Amino acid sequence: MVERAKIVEAVKAAIEKAPSRKFAESVDITVNLKNIDMAQPKNRIDETILLPHGTGKKVGIAVLGKGDITTRAREAGADLIIGPEEIERLGGAPREARKIASMYRFFIADTSVMPQVGRFLGPRLGPRGRMPMPVPAGTDIKPIIERLRNSVKIRTKDKKTFHVKVGSTGMPPEQIAENIDTVLRRVESVLEQGPMNIRSVYVKTTMGPPQRVV
């Protein structure tokens, strides 16, 4: 495992060498894997990881359903609520559905509407790794939304390289480093050979040059 001090050092270098901006840029890591056959589904990574300090940016969350779940969603501050009729309508509006799939990072759906979601929105959400988390009727979704606000999703498919948002330039480097440490530990835990399957890790701001972490 990479020493935390080394991660902090790389994060600081990435932020210092980035062009000056009047706004906070995202900070991402790029992870390159090795000695692993990603054509085998068992080797692919599909993980939602709770970051200790969030990403420093608002994560869009949409809730699909009717009745009680929509009331709870409003109380919990969901960014978008989609009812059954709207789900079906979006099935015939692919451009709008794609836009929603891109704007919102996490989707939560009442189990009662999951068949509709699969039929009408599956082609837009599925390929982007955005298929909703199904929840039974009556579930308190507030803690779920709060958790997802500070989470990131990793879905590698058959690629050996993937990118993860781990913070923003407005955050202390130590917090970003802790987020990176959390992600790498989780990734290593699901890889067949753990850290031996990681070729390299780089950190960079949106517009800045990459700095090697490991």
Q: Per the CATH hierarchy, to which homologous superfamily does domain 61-148 belong?
A: Ribosomal protein L1/L10, domain II (3.40.50.790)
CA distance 106 to 150: 11
Yes or no: say if 94 and 77 are a contact pair by the CB < 8 Å rule.
no
Quote the CA–CA distance of 95 and 99 in Å, as a whole number: 6
Domains 4-56+151-212 and 61-148 share a fold: no
Give the mean model confidence (pLDDT) for residues 125-148: 95
Separation between Cα atoms, residue 100 and residue 180, nearest integer Å: 28
Q: Which pTM value belongs to this model?
A: 0.92
The count of residues in the chain is: 214
Per-residue H/E/C for 108-139: EEEHHHHHHHHHHHHHHHHHHCCCCEEECCCC
pLDDT band at 2 (very low <50, low <70, confident <90, very high): confident
- At 139-157, the pLDDT tens digits run 999 999 999 999 999 999 8
What single string gives the DSSP state of each residue in 3-61?
Answer: -HHHHHHHHHHHHHHSPP-SSPPEEEEEEEE-S--TTSGGG--EEEEE-TT--SSPPPE
Look at residue 132 in the predicted model and tell me its pLDDT.
97
| Domain coordinates in residue numbering, the chain | 4-56+151-212, 61-148
Q: 110 forms bridges with which residues in the sheet?
A: 135
Say which CATH topology domain 4-56+151-212 has: Ribulose 1,5 Bisphosphate Carboxylase/Oxygenase (3.30.190)
| Whether residue 22 has pLDDT greater than 80 | yes
pLDDT at 1 over 80: no
Question: pLDDT tens digits for 59-93?
Answer: 999 999 999 999 999 999 999 999 999 999 999 99
Tell me the mean pLDDT in the region 96-105: 96
